[in-house]
Structure 1
Amino acid sequence: MPIDQPDAQGFEALATANRLAIDPTDLSTYLGAATGLLQSWNVVEELYTEVAPVSPERAWSSPAEEENPLGAWYVTTEITGAPDGPLAGRRVAIKDNTAVAGIPMMNGSRTVEGFVPATDSTVAARLLEAGATIAGKAVCEDLCFSGGSHTSKTGPVRNPWDTTRSAGGSSSGSGALVASGEVDFAIGGDQGGSIRIPSAFCGTVGHKPTFGLVPYTGAFPIEQSIDHLGPIARTVADTALALNVLAGPDGLDPRQPDTIAPVDYVAALQEPATGLRIGVIAEGFGLANSEPEVDATVRDAIATLEGAGLVAEEVSIPWHRHGAAIWDVISVEGATFQMVEGNGYGMNWKGYYDPELIAHYGRQWREHPDAFSETVKLVALAGKHALGTEYGRHYAMARALEASLREAYDDALATYDVLVLPTVPIRASVIPGPDAAVEEILGRALEMVANTCPFDVTGHPACSVPAGLADGLPVGLMIVGKLFDDATVLRVAQALETAVGGFPLPTTVRSNA
């Protein structure tokens, strides 16, 4: 469709609105020049039409309520991949911020609803090439901006351990489906903890890889510098197996380095963890909202690792307590600029853009900005205020402080092989009711991110594993490693799983064997 050409009246209004002080006698000159210039837009569209991907025909269905008791499926599918491969026979759910060609993608939001991607995300393509079956799209939170599981426009996702409680977000459906045994593993996304939070709440293994290890291509962006995709599984071995398939550059994602040394994460699990040194981050405990049961359960898990031959020592990293504030500025101003005003993708970087998604979402949110969730409205209001009054000055400050935050962790990691702390300070909270006040909705969405979000800024690999149960609810232990040393993180996770004889599962778990 040709781009709309400006008329004289509209052009004059545009110049006036932007206070360009153009003499009325010169407006016709500018209009003529712009009309000629905009012909290039039509040329580009004609050229792109010749190479644009065509969405494949793939079957999908919306599950009935009785088939979706946790509210965790957005749509179900049965897309089979290669007849053999390392993931042959494995069933996987894809977080609904991540494209599967020909399958509806909502990203939890009315502003994206109705979009059908024409191209598989890199992670979806790699899973299919490895023999996996994509069983469907897992519900995620509205534009992925919630650590609770109550903001998706499809309704809340329920925790299989206690269906009155949150499954965690924003990869809410992914965590619930894995924990309940609906799938073998799932893809999650993580900008502030969204792989690790549902893993902590649901008792799964959730690995946020080193920034750039797994391509983000084909997933809905929030803020390019903190976007991550990674696996959620019931065992460390399955997590490592999935990471083997997902990791490596695709040449389309500028978040990734040009080359990444290949690592066999499954083979790495065979290396003994005995003697590895663990730094226990003191500042990760005793937060303002920390539950004593959580801190105690995590410390018991650390003692279990010591009993398995690892060496644990307390380490103070004062910068850890500053990480959330740095993340607040980067995520809020960055998401406002990229995810809201920039229609998801923003501009000024080389890599894969989805023009149809940009247009679909950009048009829909401007027609119905009231459709944003309470959390996205908060981000837009705070972000637009900050950008409109300070012009990104604090974003630049936060980016400068990022180096100090990363250095603080790196200094500790020069002594220790990994760092550990509670994934989140609380257990799964009760899902707000349908008439909940905005204060409760916002509080339940953001109350748990203080320990997880700093590592989205610094990019360190961070894995949440079950530390145990406290009064019947899972508690997560987070293991953090050196950049691109995801293998050691998983080795420590495996040591804990082995020491406890396997991680517990909810009574609702269903076997796919």
Structure 2
Amino acid sequence: MSIVSISDGVGSSLSKISLRDFAAQLHIDTISENDAEDYLTLLRSLEAVLTSIDNAPDYIAPDLLPQPTLEPRKFWKPAPEKNPFNAWSHQCDLQAVTPTSKKLSGRNVVTKDNISVGGLPTTLGAPHSLLHKAGGHPVAPIDAVVVSRILRAGGIIKGTSTCESFCASPLSFTGGSSSGSVVLVAAHCLASKGSDSSFGQTVELAIGTDQAGSVRIPASYNGIYGLKPTFGLVPYTGAVSMSPMIDHLGPMAAELEDIAALLEVMAGYDGYDPRMTPEAPLAHQVKPYLESLLHARQSMKSTPNPGHKLRVGLLKQSFHIHGVAIDVRDIVHQTATRYFEAVGASVVEVSIPMHQQGPAIWTAATRPSMSSYLCQGNPSGHLSFLSPHAQMKWPPSQETYDTLTSNDPAVVNIMLSEKLAKNSTKAGLEAKAHRLVFALRAAYDSAFEGVDILVTPCAPTVAMPHPDPEGPGGKKASVLDRIGVAVGLTSNTCPFNVTGHPALNVPCGFSAAKGHPDVPLPVGMQIVASRWADEQLLEAAALFELGREIFQCTEGMTANERL
């Protein structure tokens, strides 16, 4: 390491007291006067360099600037009566001046409110007092890469959707992870069937982010498809990071064809995102996911037992992991077996004992440094382009604590967890957890030598009521009262965020919440494929749909009649 220059110390706020305080935090008690003088000079030199960078003009890469649109970029907050689910954060109506393709022509899309849409505020689901902007939420100076690609494909960006405070919980009681996105799609489905006309504006397609299950879990609760693609297939540039090794952007829609079309548009190397590896395709070499799905659909219609080549593995440990409700376990197990077998697929049970350790590996591999990315806006050490506008005020304050504890205590837990990891745990533990990620990936990859897809329950339950803000006995709800409802919620989804395997929520049935036996609520099945085999998930889900049709048509027949 070289020192670029030596500062004369003029204007520096650092003193020997500062130096000794830094040393004490490193458990260094004794520094000689001469050494202290020299180290202080070196620190002041670094301070001068950092100050020069802080004072330098910032840079926005030209190809990340907002795409030209037909109308000037403007936004508005919908009135409460036009936003009955509080799913919209801000609305707009953005269409590219000159789309380069028609893959999404005329389709309405919403993006989660941690994804930059140029000219619109980025709220992160948090009060603006916690962000670096006086008097309001910061406005995005860029379009996220996926936003640009959607616009260039003819899609219409209709706005941003409400999300959980700093996206730090998979549930929706403070805003909702990717729940705003998924609710707008689910409401569109109901409205198109004439179920209700009071939903306000809805959309056909949505984009969410998924670090532990935040695309798949809301999709499971709402009965639509939600895909977490292979890690590194879709660029994350322009979205706020929680932890680079688990950040995913994914499409949500009611139809598989829409998932395929969105994935095809969003995928491909962008030159900015260090999450993308040499395995990631260039943008012009992305697989034709929609064409492949349509071809597979057509072939299914004319082929007896169209799924005879598909090998389905029911992941044994996933059905018995803590928190999975009996009704969800049985519905997923039974429908997967019946519907895949109805199209001629083989269905077997697969045991991967390490799957049970997956949630702990996910936690240990990410939580120790998560605050650095999510709260402090730091890069990972690899060259990356982070938008300058959306960042929590740092260092935090008592106001930060009070606001977050009343709004979303999961963020405070993330900040405290990093302090614990840095001060009270063994050095190298996070690195060991990363090594165990490779072991977990190898365990799944080994299973894929015998099967094509793995099946697990997605969300462990059907949707549940929001926690009572008053808490038990009329007292204010405690931190554990509010965080507790999410414990174990992502146990079957988060392992695939660290290993990078693509995973898709597939609606597979209905059950009822406790105390509401007359209200059918969706149950989600998760299917997982080998990395970079995202098209296999789409085709397997199409076979599942066909198997459901076949099974339901023959359900009333005798065994001989079915043969």
Class of the TM-score when normalised by the shorter of the 2 chains: 0.7 to 0.9
Deviation, 1:33, is 7.9
Could you say what secondary structure the match of 1:338 adopts?
helix
Over 3 Å counting, the alpha-carbon distance change for 1:6 and 1:323 in structure 2 is farther
Over 3 Å counting, the alpha-carbon distance change for 1:286 and 1:74 in structure 2 is same
8 Å Cα contact 1:467/1:476 also seen in 2: yes
TM-score when normalising by structure 2:
0.79
Structure 2 distance, partners of 1:40, 1:333, is 25
Structure 1 distance, partners of 2:138, 2:398, is 15
Structure 2 distance, partners of 1:251, 1:129, is 18
Over 3 Å counting, the alpha-carbon distance change for 1:375 and 1:313 in structure 2 is same
- Please say if 1:349 is aligned against 2:397: no
- Please say if 1:176 is aligned against 2:176: no
Deviation, 1:378, is 1.6
- Please say if 1:315 is aligned against 2:350: yes
Structure 2 distance, partners of 1:25, 1:215, is 47
Q: Counterpart of 2:502?
A: 461
- Please say if 1:411 is aligned against 2:446: yes
| Pairs within 5 Å for 1:42-121 | 42=52, 45-46=55-56, 48=58, 58-81=73-96, 82=98, 85-110=102-127, 111-112=130-131, 114-121=137-144
8 Å Cα contact 1:8/1:31 also seen in 2: no
Q: Counterpart of 1:267?
A: 291
- Please say if 1:128 is aligned against 2:151: yes
Question: Which letter does structure 2 place at the counterpart of 1:60?
Answer: F
Q: Bigger shift: 190-199 or 325-334?
A: 325-334
Over 3 Å counting, the alpha-carbon distance change for 1:435 and 1:392 in structure 2 is farther
Deviation, 1:230, is 0.8
* Cα RMSD, aligned residues only: 2.6
8 Å Cα contact 1:327/1:454 also seen in 2: yes
Deviation, 1:365, is 4.3
Structure 2 distance, partners of 1:433, 1:459, is 35
Could you say what secondary structure the match of 2:383 adopts?
coil
Report how many aligned residue pairs link the two structures: 478
8 Å Cα contact 1:8/1:28 also seen in 2: no
Could you say what secondary structure the match of 2:330 adopts?
helix
Over 3 Å counting, the alpha-carbon distance change for 1:298 and 1:45 in structure 2 is same
Choose between structure 1 and 2 for higher RCO, CA contacts under 8 A separated by at least 6 residues: 1
Q: Counterpart of 2:226?
A: 206
Structure 1 distance, partners of 2:60, 2:163, is 34
Question: Which letter does structure 1 place at the counterpart of 2:162?
Answer: V
Question: Which letter does structure 2 place at the counterpart of 1:78?
Answer: D
Alignment deviations for residues 268-317 of structure 1 (CA, whole Å, 9 cap, x no partner): 21224512110110111123322111112112321112112221111111
Q: 1:494 aligns with which of 542, 552, 557?
A: 542
Q: Counterpart of 1:299?
A: 333
Q: Counterpart of 2:165?
A: 142
8 Å Cα contact 2:14/2:44 also seen in 1: no
| Pairs within 5 Å for 1:378-457 | 378-390=413-425, 392-436=427-471, 437=477, 438-457=479-498
Over 3 Å counting, the alpha-carbon distance change for 1:312 and 1:365 in structure 2 is same
Structure 1 distance, partners of 2:184, 2:271, is 31
Q: Counterpart of 1:17?
A: 21
8 Å Cα contact 1:402/1:457 also seen in 2: yes
Deviation, 1:48, is 3.5
Based on CA coordinates, which of the two structures has the bigger radius of gyration?
2
Could you say what secondary structure the match of 1:475 adopts?
strand
Aligned-residue identity in percent: 33
| Pairs within 5 Å for 1:21-32 | 21=31, 23=33, 27=37, 30=40
Alignment deviations for residues 31-69 of structure 1 (CA, whole Å, 9 cap, x no partner): 598369725743674354697887796211111111111
Q: Counterpart of 2:207?
A: 187
8 Å Cα contact 2:225/2:254 also seen in 1: yes
Q: Bigger shift: 187-196 or 438-447?
A: 438-447
8 Å Cα contact 2:65/2:143 also seen in 1: no
Question: Which letter does structure 1 place at the counterpart of 2:187?
Answer: S
Q: Counterpart of 2:27?
A: none
8 Å Cα contact 2:379/2:386 also seen in 1: no
Deviation, 1:499, is 3.5
Question: Which letter does structure 1 place at the counterpart of 2:412?
Answer: K
Deviation, 1:257, is 1.7
Q: Counterpart of 1:484?
A: 532
Flag structure 2 segments of 5+ consecutive residues without an equivalent: 1-8, 25-30, 189-201, 301-305, 472-476, 513-519, 551-563
Q: 1:377 aligns with which of 412, 423, 426?
A: 412
